[in-house]
Structure 1
């Protein structure tokens, strides 16, 4: 067995196939595929508005990097304490989406969730008989998916997601395949971590812009109410707040409605003046 075999969780009673029959030419070719896939990671442009598209590109590179795979997916989770919370995921094939849907939304168990929870690589050569996931395994097997390889993506020891690789044949992933997947997972984790940072920064910037916009609209509404009543800013704000609570509508939306109404009235007055 390779030195890597002790570093992942294998299915009880089912050994990960050794690398028998692997020629030097095939090994060199697989190594080149991994190199190409890693280079592809470096060329990705992380468009924060299209997170799933970037993840889909990473998933395509996973299939290139790992021999024996029929499809793959990349999952991103919210980092922190407690069970993993899936934020986004992308896949290379419809059957992978169905498999991951079983894990995340129906069964609440599976190789990906376990890998992210434990921080260890998970390998299964016969999902239907894998007692680690009794609810998930049988359903996956009925979809004619029998092998799974899930690798947590780590950034400074924190799980930020996972690579999920599937095959229809049993015992599809050899120790050689696991080793190649590990080589790809390290830079992939950094890429996914960077994407999360960019996405979070974009979200904060959007929230800040919305807050500034809302503040400006509220100030305009306060000015309109003061011009009508002659009251103070505090009195005008209290009036907005009471209307918001009474109608169960956000304060900013109440303010925007008041400003829009004032603009319409101003336009109507100008129109009447022009026509007189």
Structure 2
């Protein structure tokens, strides 16, 4: 979300843990290593190929998040789409199980992060009063810490990224800060992938529609050659056949064209 350090602390919803003490306990070498991991995660985002399938790209973004955010054991990513089921990916089976619980009951850190457009952090999911049903189920899986980051673009929230750890109180303010730095370009990558996937789906639908129109036109031509009349009359007869046989118009047209082709082949290749 592109926050500076002070803004990030205000935006993070956390359990009552002292994140500053956890940061203070790190050595300078450990902090440098975390910065290097973040840089590698960001570099990975910059190398993502537009040729990847949407789900494959989202999984890679989630994997880079695991690398970029200190303490992460696994991550999931949810892409929100209008008029289409949300796309949900995970880097590990336990993440997939957790998100299944979350979306099954309709509550959890990812849902809150996406709805509120705020970073959400918890160090003890089983005891967190914000998601009592979700926390109990996840704690039984041995997962106690979560950091959820909304993927925010100028057009709004396009999704959310969940990062989990098995131990308690794993994520602190620094992890949230690094996560927010990572989430800004990640949101752009996800939105670009979404736009490209939508364009590909539209192109596929248009191609299918074009091919269907060609088949219908051929069927109309065949019917006109057999029975005469206008193209409009032939189309009317084709529609009547479609209704009577309870098949789509293009299916009936394909049958007529196929039968005509078979008869033509039989005439040219008599047995």
Q: Compute the TM-score of the two structures, normalised by the length of structure 1.
A: 0.91
Rounded Cα–Cα distance in structure 2 between residues aligned with 1:90 and 1:10: 24
Instruction: Compute the RMSD of aligned alpha carbons.
Output: 1.7
Q: Which residue of structure 1 aligns with residue 139 of structure 2?
A: 141
Rounded Cα–Cα distance in structure 1 between residues aligned with 2:18 and 2:228: 80
Q: Would you say 1:247 and 2:250 are equivalent positions? A: no
Q: Which residue of structure 1 aligns with residue 106 of structure 2?
A: 108
Shift of 1:157: 4.7
Rounded Cα–Cα distance in structure 1 between residues aligned with 2:18 and 2:65: 20
SS in 2 for 1:249: coil
Rounded Cα–Cα distance in structure 2 between residues aligned with 1:173 and 1:86: 30
Shift of 1:183: 0.7
- State how 1:120-135 maps to structure 2 within 5 Å: 120-135=118-133
| Unaligned segments of structure 1, at least 5 residues | none
Q: Which residue of structure 1 aligns with residue 94 of structure 2?
A: 95
Q: Which residue of structure 2 aligns with residue 23 of structure 1?
A: 27
SS in 2 for 1:133: helix
Rounded Cα–Cα distance in structure 2 between residues aligned with 1:266 and 1:6: 76
Count residues with an aligned counterpart.
Answer: 264
1:66 to 57, 66, 69: 69
Q: Would you say 1:39 and 2:43 are equivalent positions? A: yes
SS in 1 for 2:260: helix
SS in 2 for 1:9: coil
Shift of 1:154: 1.1
Rounded Cα–Cα distance in structure 2 between residues aligned with 1:64 and 1:122: 19
Q: Do the aligned partners of residues 157 and 228 (structure 1) sit closer, same or farther apart at CA in structure 2, a change above 3 Å counting?
A: closer
Tell me the alpha carbon deviations over residues 128-187 of structure 1, each in whole angstroms, 9 at most, x when there is no partner.
Answer: 112222221111111111111110101105111111100111111011111110110000
| Unaligned segments of structure 2, at least 5 residues | none
SS in 1 for 2:185: helix
